[in-house]
Structure 1
Amino acid sequence: MSLFDHYYSYDPGYGYSLDDLLSVPAPQEPADFSRFWRDKYQKALTVSPQFSLNYQCLRAGYRVYDISYQSTDGFRIAGWLLEPDAQPITRSIVVGHGYGGREQPDFHLSIPGAALLFPCFRGISRSRCERLPEQPNQHVVQGIDDPNHYVIGGCIEDLWLAVTVLVERYPAIADKIGYMGISFGGGIGALAAPWDARIKRVHLNVPTFGNQPLRLSLPTSGSAAALKAYSQHHHNVFDTLAYYDAAVSARYALQPLHAAVALFDPVVAPPGQFAIYNAWAAEKHLFILDAGHFDYPRQHDQERQLIAELQHFFGESSL
Structure 2
Amino acid sequence: MIPAPYDEWFAGSAIDGTYGYDLADLRAVEPVEAAAGFAETWRTWRVEASAVAPEPQLTPLGRVGAHEVSLVEHTAAEGLRLRAWLAVPAEGAARVGVVHGHGYGGRDAPDFSRVPADAAAIFPVARGLGTLNAGVGAPAVKDEHVLHGIQAIETYVLGRCAVDLWHAADALTEVAGPLPLYYIGESFGGGIGALALPWDDRYVGATLIVPSFGQYDLRLGLACEGSGEAVRRHVAVHPEAREVLRTFDASTAATFLRVPVRVEAARWDVVVPPPGQFAVANGIERAAARVAGAELELAVLPAGHAEFPGIDDVRADASAAGLAHLERALTRPAVSRSTRA
Q: TM-score, normalised by structure 2?
A: 0.90
Match runs of 1:117-196 below 5 Å: 117-125=122-130, 126-129=132-135, 131-171=137-177, 174-196=178-200
Q: Does the aligned pair in 2 maintain the 1:54–1:66 contact within 8 Å? A: yes
- In the other structure, the counterpart of 1:217 is 221
User: Aligned equivalents of 1:300 and 1:80: distance in 2?
Assistant: 26
- In the other structure, the counterpart of 2:48 is 43
User: Aligned equivalents of 1:166 and 1:286: distance in 2?
Assistant: 28
User: Aligned equivalents of 1:316 and 1:289: distance in 2?
Assistant: 21
User: Aligned equivalents of 1:133 and 1:254: distance in 2?
Assistant: 33
4+ residue segments displaced more than 6 Å: none
Which amino acid in structure 2 is aligned with residue 221 of structure 1?
A: E
Which amino acid in structure 2 is aligned with residue 99 of structure 1?
A: Y
- In the other structure, the counterpart of 1:300 is 312
Which amino acid in structure 2 is aligned with residue 307 of structure 1?
A: S
Match runs of 1:88-99 below 5 Å: 88-99=93-104
Which amino acid in structure 2 is aligned with residue 239 of structure 1?
A: E
Which amino acid in structure 1 is aligned with residue 243 of structure 2?
A: D
How far apart are 1:167 and its partner, in Å? 2.5
**Alignment partner of 2:220: what SS?**
helix
Which amino acid in structure 1 is aligned with residue 216 of structure 2?
A: Q
Q: Does 1:287 align with 2:294?
A: no
**Alignment partner of 1:314: what SS?**
helix
How far apart are 1:317 and its partner, in Å? 7.4
User: Aligned equivalents of 1:141 and 1:22: distance in 2?
Assistant: 29
Which amino acid in structure 2 is aligned with residue 76 of structure 1?
A: R
Q: Does the aligned pair in 2 maintain the 1:312–1:318 contact within 8 Å? A: no
- In the other structure, the counterpart of 1:34 is 39
Q: Does the aligned pair in 1 maintain the 2:195–2:253 contact within 8 Å? A: yes
Give the count of matched residue pairs: 317
**Alignment partner of 2:237: what SS?**
coil
How far apart are 1:235 and its partner, in Å? 1.9
- In the other structure, the counterpart of 2:326 is 314
Match runs of 1:109-120 below 5 Å: 109-120=114-125
Match runs of 1:248-287 below 5 Å: 248-280=252-284, 281=287, 282-287=294-299
User: Does the C-alpha gap of structure 1 residues 15 and 316 become closer, same or farther in structure 2, counting only changes over 3 Å?
Assistant: closer
What CA deviation, in whole Å up to 9, does each residue of 1:135-172 have, x standing for no partner?
Answer: 1111000000101110111101110111112222233x
Of 222, 232, 249, which aligns to 1:245?
A: 249
What CA deviation, in whole Å up to 9, does each residue of 1:188-214 have, x standing for no partner?
Answer: 000100111111111100000100110
**Alignment partner of 2:16: what SS?**
coil
User: Aligned equivalents of 2:155 and 2:110: distance in 1?
Assistant: 29
What are structure 1's unaligned runs of at least 5 residues?
Answer: none
Which amino acid in structure 2 is aligned with residue 271 of structure 1?
A: P
Which amino acid in structure 1 is aligned with residue 149 of structure 2?
A: G
User: Aligned equivalents of 1:79 and 1:273: distance in 2?
Assistant: 27
- In the other structure, the counterpart of 1:83 is 88
What are structure 2's unaligned runs of at least 5 residues?
Answer: 288-293, 332-341
User: Aligned equivalents of 1:95 and 1:110: distance in 2?
Assistant: 9
Identity score, percent: 35
Q: Does the aligned pair in 2 maintain the 1:208–1:268 contact within 8 Å? A: yes
User: Aligned equivalents of 1:140 and 1:315: distance in 2?
Assistant: 34
Report the more deviating stretch, 181-190 or 37-46. Answer: 37-46
User: Does the C-alpha gap of structure 1 residues 218 and 161 become closer, same or farther in structure 2, counting only changes over 3 Å?
Assistant: same
User: Aligned equivalents of 1:300 and 1:30: distance in 2?
Assistant: 40
How far apart are 1:8 and its partner, in Å? 2.5
Q: Does 1:55 align with 2:60?
A: yes
User: Aligned equivalents of 1:296 and 1:161: distance in 2?
Assistant: 36
Q: Does 1:8 align with 2:10?
A: no
Q: TM-score, normalised by structure 1?
A: 0.96
Which amino acid in structure 1 is aligned with residue 140 of structure 2?
A: E
User: Aligned equivalents of 2:139 and 2:155: distance in 1?
Assistant: 15
